[in-house]
Chains A and B, each alone.
Chain A
Amino acid sequence: MKLTVVILISAVLLSLACKADYDIEEVAPPEHLGTDHHDELDECEHEDAEHVESDHEHEAETAEPGSVHEESHEIDVSEISGSNRHVHDAGQRNHGTGWFFNQPWAASFIWGKMLRDSLILLVLAAVILFVSGYRRKHQ
């Protein structure tokens, strides 16, 4: 009877844990994943693209007819690269540092799950000890 109860409890715990295993990305709330920043980045890139395009149009208007159009990428490159274009504060979550902040130490919303898993494992360890001792005694 005791053995049956113990096996039932462990089966329930295992099924609970089966349904509840997770990746941080799977269970993260939207504010943790920082989707707003992606939109901001997209807008920023879009603005840059429009700006570069308008420069091209302006060059085309001012160029003399018949002359060879030489595209100067130097000006564009200076505008789309360098530290002035896209700077993040140290420790800020952004499009390039998602992996860094998707680690358990930074995802406080899974700490409760860590505690839950720890308790399940401790109960399972006790169950296994009990069952193996019981079997050994009755062999």
Chain B
Amino acid sequence: MKPVMTFALMTLRNLLRRRTIWGISIVILIALFGIGQIPGFGVSNEGRFILDFGLFGLEIGALLLAIGLASNIYPRDREQKTVMPIIAVPLSRSQYLMGRFVGAAIVEAAAMLVGCIGLMIILIMNGHAVPADMLPATGLLLVEGWFLLAVVFFFSFWTSPPLNAPLTTLLFIVSQMSVSGFIKLFPQAPGLMRTLRLFLPHMDVFHIKDPIAHGMDIPGLYFFLAALYGLAYMAFMLSVALAVFRSRDLK
């Protein structure tokens, strides 16, 4: 475990030196600030719109962060030939993947926390109450972001970075669809589409912005189950990514 954490901290320092993370974080904060500037036009409960759009912005931010953070890590290591000495002696391939993943996951968590605090400040500045479930809701979006991070790592082992981003975005979009909606994409083969949909997560599990915006209470058990579901999918994607990485010939 210690080698993984050491390598994760190395990854963290590497990522913080890159401009990508700062650029995406600034874009998220500017978007949140823009949402806060939308005039209310006298509509009551304007805070709902700010909260709804704000949490949606955080979700898109999680996707962009996952792509921006992880799509270049392995291709760059391979191009600069740093991956070979790393996995030759001190680390196994699984430790390499976990170290890289944990480092990127810490950066993503910090960025989401900053986004959440930014949204809270905007709500307070506009004279609205901050819902109690705001942090758990951001936590679920973070779990979704970690899952996307695992997906980006998976794609990065067998595709180029320019292809990684559209593939991850496509997976993000189709994972939002219901089973029936997904079957409608190709209704001639419902069985095949249902089986394909099986491999995609139900992303709506992580969406609780509607009830929060309407002031409805969500049981703590749901947060636990949704987080477990997301973490299980993340573990599944990481294991598939590791299987691909183990089968790669790095020479």
Contact = CB atoms under 8 A, between A and B. Distances in A.
A21 B190 CA distance: 13
A76 interface: no
A111 interface: yes
Interface string B187-217: 0000000110110001011011011001010
B243 A118 contact: no
Nearest to B223: A105
A118 B225 CA distance: 9
B179 A106 contact: no
A21 B194 contact: yes
A121 B231 CA distance: 10
Contact residue range for chain A? 35 or more
B186 interface: no
Interface string A4-46: 0000000000100110011111100000000000000000000
Interface stretch (B3-11, B13-21, B234-242): B234-242
A114 to B, nearest CB: 5
Chain A contact residues, majority secondary structure: helix
A22 B235 contact: no
Interface in A93-130: 100, 103-106, 108, 111, 114-115, 117-119, 121-122, 124-126, 128-129
Contacts of B93: 136
Contacts of A17: 198
Given A23-B179, A111-B221, A104 B228 contact: no
B229 A114 contact: yes
A48 to B, nearest CB: 28
A52 interface: no
Contacts of A106: 211
Chain B contact residues, majority secondary structure: helix
B233 A132 contact: no
Given A91-B216, A115-B225, A121 B232 contact: yes
A124 B93 CA distance: 20
A109 B96 CA distance: 40
Contacts of B210: 100, 103
A80 interface: no
Contact residue range for chain B? 35 or more
Nearest to B218: A105
Contact of B222 (A14, A111, A132): A111
Contacts of B235: 121-122, 125
Nearest to B212: A105
A128 B246 contact: no
18 contacts: A18-B194, A21-B179, A21-B194, A21-B197, A23-B178, A26-B179, A104-B222, A105-B208, A105-B222, A106-B211, A111-B222, A128-B240, A128-B242, A132-B243, A133-B246, A135-B247, A136-B246, A136-B247
Q: Lowest 8 A-B CB distances belong to which pairs?
A: A132-B243, A118-B232, A121-B232, A125-B239, A128-B239, A125-B235, A121-B236, A125-B236
Given A21-B194, A24-B178, A91-B214, 14 more contacts: A14-B198, A21-B179, A100-B210, A103-B204, A105-B208, A111-B222, A115-B228, A117-B229, A122-B232, A125-B235, A125-B236, A126-B239, A128-B239, A132-B246
